[in-house]
Structure 1
Amino acid sequence: MSLYNSFRATITCPHCQDVAEREVQFRYGHVWQHEYVLGSTIIWGPAAVGDPGLPRVVVDGWMVECDACGGDGRIALFLRDNVIWGLGPVAWAPGLPSNGWLADGGGSG
């Protein structure tokens, strides 16, 4: 992956169930090594990926290698009005393209 942004949160590894703070890398917003946490607002500027005008977006992310088992994998980040409000398995976002994003037409959250 070229330039990306990072999201840090306590995440359960989908492979071994170890719970730890982990990094999720993603490409959305101003892609320039910005670091985010839950509740952060996405930064926009040059080298931007995505659409800042969408009210709800699901972004494809990549969980960095688990220290316990070495596993990694895709994780979905959920945004509302450019604020990261949650994350979960990509199975919660059918049709989410790998290394991309998807406008979310509704649902709760």
Structure 2
Amino acid sequence: MGAFNRLLLKELLCPACNALHDWIIQFKYGDCWQHDYVLQDELKWEGNDEGDPSARIVLVEGIAEDDCQACNEEVYARIFVDNNRIVAASLVVERIWFTSEHEGEYIVINK
């Protein structure tokens, strides 16, 4: 996956089996250099940048570092960034397939 960041999510249900876990989600947006974030953190920029720091609203694809401990399902995350702040994340079992016109693992919703 190369350089990435991590979003730490506490006590969320697995979307496949509803087991409660803490999750570490890897994602590529902002200064990708193993920064650890939690919800409401502001993204760092001006390093190994991936994405658009001027974008207002962005949907970012992430993947859990580990499969679910209960059902062994691979888990993905949809991370919502608003004005460079991580405002929400939801866990899913199917990844987002961005169209070929979009680069990377994110899509700018509102510039």
Give TM-score scaled by structure 2 length: 0.82
Q: 2:49 is matched with which residue?
A: 48
Q: Secondary structure at the match of 2:110?
A: coil
Q: Secondary structure at the match of 2:42?
A: coil
1:103 maps to 2:105:
no
Q: Provide the C-alpha distance between the structure 2 equivalents of 1:96 and 1:59, rounded to a whole number of angstroms.
A: 10
Identity, in percent, stands at 28
Q: 1:95 to 1:69 in 2, by over 3 A?
A: closer
What 5-or-longer segments of structure 1 have no aligned partner?
Answer: none
Q: 2:2 is matched with which residue?
A: 2
Contact 2:28 2:62 (C-alpha < 8 Å) held by counterparts: yes
How far is 1:19 from its partner?
Answer: 1.3
How far is 1:3 from its partner?
Answer: 1.2
1:1-109 to structure 2, matched below 5 A, reads: 1-10=1-10, 11-64=12-65, 65-89=67-91, 96=98, 100-105=105-110
Contact 1:60 1:90 (C-alpha < 8 Å) held by counterparts: no
- Provide the aligned C-alpha RMSD in A: 2.4
Runs of 4 or more, structure 1, over 6 Å off, are: none
How far is 1:89 from its partner?
Answer: 4.9
Q: Secondary structure at the match of 2:76?
A: strand
Q: Provide the C-alpha distance between the structure 2 equivalents of 1:105 and 1:85, rounded to a whole number of angstroms.
A: 15
What 5-or-longer segments of structure 2 have no aligned partner?
Answer: none
How far is 1:90 from its partner?
Answer: 6.2
Contact 1:90 1:96 (C-alpha < 8 Å) held by counterparts: no
Q: 1:21 to 1:90 in 2, by over 3 A?
A: closer
How far is 1:96 from its partner?
Answer: 4.0
Give TM-score scaled by structure 1 length: 0.83
